[in-house]
Structure 1
Amino acid sequence: MKSRNKKGMLAAVLAAGLVLAPLPGLTGGSAAAAAKPAAAAIGKTAYQVYVDGRKLALSPPPVTLSGTTLVPMRAIFKALQADVTWEPSTKTIIGIKDGMSVTLQLGSKKAVKNGKAVLLAVPAQQLNGTTMVPLRFVSETLGAEVAVDAASHAIRITSEEALEQQEIDKLAEEQRRQQQDDDKEKLSVRQIVDENDAKVVMITTDTAQGSGVIIGSDRILTNFHVVQDAASATVTLEDGTTADVKGIVGYDKDSDLAVLQTKKPLGVDPVKIGESELVGKGDHVVAIGSPLGIQNTVSEGIVSNIQSDGGAQTFQISVPIDHGSSGGGLFNDDGELIGLTSSGVDDTHADLNFAVSAESIQLLLQDIASNPPSSVAFLPSDKPSTLAGATNDEIKAFMDKEYSTIETSEGTAKLSDFQVTRDDQGWVVITAVIDPAFYMVYGHKASDDLRYWAIDAGVELHKLLPDNVIQLNVYYDQTFSFQPRGFGPGEVTANGDGTWRIRYPVIQVQGKEKFNVQVRD
């Protein structure tokens, strides 16, 4: 589309007779000759040129002729995101951008600005083999503002796009201040809870527990990670009634959001969704969710920070939350939903918790409205339905794909060197090695997370291999140049080359219908 506009404007320029033929005396070496008298008027001190705060690397540098600053043609048009065409037969420069156009001819003080003829103080010309154009004329024709800072010898250009963004930011700030002026009377925490407690539910799936908020007669908003592996789910309302979930209406994995549909109407009014643009650092917020399965727990705090990651806006909050709070409502002092509590950092006194903002929520809801699903169902699992009859190599590949990392409050622990064997009693024995550096530094603090991972892995393996006894051992394995002391029998062995190996189980899982899990911290 852009190319078509450019051709159309070129045709209009030519049809209007604005560029007809080379000007008399400008063919051959006349352009260079014309530049020589002006050379005496070139300013001694070159200015630095900045576009939207970024310094332009101009070669040759800007020159000043009779009070007019000239810069290389292509550099300034490119910096202002304009298309430029050079017509060698007429020595004409044509620049086009978003319906704006500028036409210059070497050596001519006559120019065309958006279809109207204007007179230049200094024409475009060639200096030392480079086509130079008047900086202010070109910039302002293309919608930019130009300011000269004589003290620092700088010319600062604000592009059309930057000016538009400044206006948007100014309007947003004015709206924010107006909203603050209008919000003279805020709700108390009690009033916020009274208005929204019944609109927050607890979600129980076949794999996890979380929270959600009611956004329609039979629709619930929650975090994607709460339901991504689920094959079934039930919601529990604040009054204790329950409703089965039919499936997922839509989701945004990157923003960690999902909309669920229940099998029956819930009979509860939906939450009112607020505007995240009006949220600022330091604003008071209230969270309602089900941490650790304790339904509709209320906590409060402030917005500690506002972050953007890949286009998704996130609120850092000081509100206390925990496992099970994911998908719970975060409300402002008007009782409006401004986010979903989604995650946090454990084992810290800083209350480093996070919520997905209403901006991402609105985008998902708009997408669902524009592209309604043909059917509503839970997402198909990318895991195999069974590993019965699978080879050891196939089981190893499964473990490499699904269980090669352990997410903990201290970071990610990586597992490697998975091995799968079967002993003479029919046990499936799976071994792996944990990153020794992670274990040495964080093993003690991460022991609970390692245990949860082990339980999850054991349960999942039993589903896939129901007829086998499972043994899963994750080892610490490291080689030293000396013989370590203080370890159990068989945990230190000589390698035969003057080095010694320490190997002992960090995680041990054994079981079939029931499991025994041990974690060494």
Structure 2
Amino acid sequence: MNVKLKQRLLLPVLAAGLMLTPVLGMPGQVNAAPVQSTAVQSSVISVYVDGKKLPLQPAPITVNGTTLVPMRAIFAALKANVNWEPQTKTIFATKDHIKISLQIGAAQAMKNGKAIKLQVPARQAKGATYVPLRFVAEALGAKIEFDKKTSAIRITSAEQQWIDEEEEWDDYEDAAADAAAAASQMLSVDQIVQMNDNSVVMIATDRSQGSGVVIDSNRILTNFHVMRDASEATITTLYGSQVEVEGIVGYDEAADLAIIQTKEKLNIDPVVLGDGYNVRKGDHVVAIGSPLGLQNTASDGVVSNIIYDGAQLFQISAPIDHGSSGGALFNDSGELIGITTSGIDISNANLNFAVSVMNVNMLINEINDTDAKKIGFLPRKLPESLEGVSTDDIRLLMNREFGSIQTSHKTAALKSWDVKRDASGWLVLSTTIDPAFYMVYGHADAEDLRMWAINAGTELRRMLPKDTIRLTIYYDQQFSFEPRDFKADEVTAQSDGTWRVRYPVVDVQAKEKMHVQVRS
């Protein structure tokens, strides 16, 4: 299936490269040996465009074996705009990005600025302007064939070629779907779990916990975000064995996929990879992963939707949770069709997502093609240490790497970063949250704010282990009236007659331990 897809994607390129290539044994052969004499005769040849006979008045003529037709009829049939320049006796035709010109009697024509030799030039006869049929058709991306038995020239326009190709591909997909449906045996949830449970593992890194799927003797498929910023990792098999991870073999950040390699063989049967083409909305699916660290939890549901967002995603109703990232999604034949990746926490509709195995197969093919030579963990986006770094540079880093908070509802922007050391030597960092976001989502997204604070505090402790750190996110807004029922220092009068309300929304204090407080 992947090979078929690659061929289909290459077809337009091949067509562009071949559209001016002559076909042996057909009238109008461009690279045939020159003919010394000129023989003009009326032609009994019929011309068909996309299966419809082209009415040509006057009739086509044949010159030294080359068929010429009235220009306006053929250009119109191939949906090209044509203009005639009487002073220079030049024909100009355009279609999409293609521009061609032919001058009466000239031995060559121009296509997109490139000269092309003609066996027989354009000419005027019988009160009409004639153009060489093969050149015009192929220059406009059409395919031309000559039927000797019926003396008919059959032209397939570029548009019809695309239609035919799409119909052929649809027929192929339908046939493949029918064949797969007929050949596959529907398994029960219990059978699918028994078939694949041992091939799903739990992954623990020095940054997070997720899931993974065995696809080779020592290779495991997971989400890119599970391995992001990790410097070490261990996998735990269904029966409790732990194996260290050597590093990442390859990844696709846009599709949120990564393939990792363990330091030793796993002795676990890999899953059977599906192709993803036959997945339909409403299909039954089974998910296996480690939500919240509960290893190899199985759940089932249906494919609720199919979405394209940088990768093909299956929206699924099968319940998953934090820790399920990198887990397996199986169809009723027990084939892997996706990698569970994310969900929307604020909904009761089980809005969860899995990356399609189509993207998995592309990543595997890419790794096979490049023969990965370097296996290791990716460098961290954050530095190993900030010791000796100026407060201004720390401010720039916080603004760049911690300048927003992604919550279940939307992204909250953090602005006006300030970093300084107080009289007691504390490193004091402060920023302000978008007040509109906080008013609408502050309560609902309190846990997202807390997790962001824990992550930011953990990274600051790692990079500045000797410092006592305080990180505060403030709500900061001005009003035309004096708001009531705030602490005295949270409301201050401004020189322009307005009132400023400023209070801490998130407060992090950390050194060897960390305390996080969220005001919602």
Instruction: Tell me the CA shift for residue 459 of structure 1.
Output: 1.2
Match of 2:218 in 1: 218
CA 1:17–1:84 in 2, change beyond 3 Å: closer, same or farther?
A: farther
Question: Partner of 2:475 in structure 1?
Answer: 476
Kindly indicate whether the alpha-carbon contact (under 8 Å) linking 1:92 and 1:106 is maintained by their aligned counterparts in 2: no
Instruction: Say which SS state the counterpart of residue 176 (structure 1) adopts.
Output: helix
**How does 1:211-290 map onto structure 2 within 5 Å?**
211-290=211-290
Corresponding residue SS for 2:395: helix
1:319-372: CA deviations, max 9, x gaps?
111111100000000100011001111110222111111111111111111212
**Deviation of residue 221 (structure 1)?**
0.5
Q: CA deviation at 1:83?
A: 6.8
Offset, 1:382: 2.6
Aligned pairs (5 A) from 1:292-371: 292-310=292-310, 312-371=311-370
Question: Which amino acid in the other structure matches residue 463 of structure 1?
Answer: R
Q: Which residue, out of 92, 102, 120, partners 1:86?
A: 102
Return the offset for 1:489: 1.6
- The CA deviation at 1:159 is 3.2
TM-score, length of structure 1 as denominator length: 0.77
> Aligned letter for 2:304?
S
Q: How does 1:76-115 map to 2 (within 5 A)?
A: 76=95, 78=96, 84-87=100-103, 89-90=105-106
User: Structure 1 residue 17: deviation in Å?
Assistant: 4.4
- SS of structure 2 residue aligned to 1:385: coil
CA distance, structure 1, for counterparts of residue 35 and residue 279 of structure 2: 53
CA contact (8 A) 2:100 2:110 kept: yes
Give the letter aligned to residue 168 of structure 1: W
SS across alignment from 1:198: helix
Whether the 8 Å CA contact 1:307–1:316 is kept in 2: the answer is yes
Structure 1 residues 236 and 393 mapped into 2: Cα distance closer, same or farther (>3 Å)? same
Distance in 2, matches of 1:175 and 1:102, equals: 45
Q: Equivalent residue of 1:163, what SS?
A: helix
Equivalent pair of 2:234/2:242 in contact (CA under 8 Å) = yes
> How does the TM-score come out when normalised to structure 2?
0.78
- 1:292–1:423 Cα change, 3 Å: same
What one-letter code is carried by the residue in structure 1 that aligns with 2:30?
V
Q: After superposition, where does 1:117-516 map in structure 2 within 5 Å? A: 124=130, 142-143=142-143, 158-183=159-184, 185-310=185-310, 312-516=311-515
| Structure 2 Cα separation of the partners of residues 162 and 7 of structure 1 | 21
The answer as to whether partners of 1:93 and 1:103 remain within 8 angstroms in 2 is: no
Q: In the alignment, what sits opposite 2:54?
A: none
Question: Following the alignment from structure 2 to structure 1, what is the Cα–Cα distance between the partners of residues 22 and 128?
Answer: 25
Q: Quick one: structure 1 residues 274 and 90, their matched pair in 2 at CA, closer, same or farther if it must change by over 3 Å?
A: same
Q: CA deviation at 1:91?
A: 8.6
Query: What does the per-residue CA deviation read over 1:53-104, in whole Å, with 9 as the maximum and x for residues that have no partner?
Result: xxx79688xxxxxxxxxxx96334x47xx674534543976779xxxx9999
Root-mean-square deviation over aligned CA pairs: 3.9
Q: Distance in 2 between matches of 1:291 and 1:137?
A: 60
Tell whether the 8 Å contact from 2:104 to 2:123 is kept in structure 1 after alignment. no
Separation in structure 2 between the aligned mates of residue 203 and residue 482 of structure 1, nearest angstrom: 54
Look up the SS of the partner of 2:393 in the other structure.
Answer: helix
Q: d(CA) in 2 for partners of 1:7 and 1:275?
A: 36
SS of equivalent residue, structure 2 residue 286: strand
Distance 1:20 1:494 in 2: 101
Q: Is 1:13 matched with 2:30?
A: yes
Tell me the alpha carbon deviations over residues 5-27 of structure 1, each in whole angstroms, 9 at most, x when there is no partner.
78876996265548999x9xxxx
C-alpha deviation, 1:318, in angstroms: 1.3
Q: Report the 3-state secondary structure (helix = DSSP H, G, I; strand = E; otherwise coil) of the residue aligned with 1:277.
A: coil
State the SS of the aligned residue for 2:505: strand
What is the alpha-carbon distance in structure 1 between the residues aligned to residue 242 and residue 331 of structure 2?
A: 27
* Separation of aligned partners in 1, 2:31 and 2:379: 60
Opposite residue 339 of structure 2, the aligned amino acid is: L
Q: Which amino acid aligns with 1:416?
A: K
| Count of residue pairs the alignment pairs up | 453
Partners of 1:141 and 1:395 in 2: CA distance = 58
| 3-state SS of 1:305 partner | strand
- Contact in 2 for aligned 1:139/1:157 (Cα 8 Å): no
Deviation, structure 1 residue 257: 0.8
The letter of the residue matching 1:162 is: I
| Matched letter for residue 13 of structure 1 | V
**Residue 474 and residue 140 in structure 1: after superposition, are their counterparts in 2 closer, same or farther (change >3 A)?**
closer
Unaligned 5+ runs, structure 2? 1-12, 41-56, 59-75, 84-90, 146-156
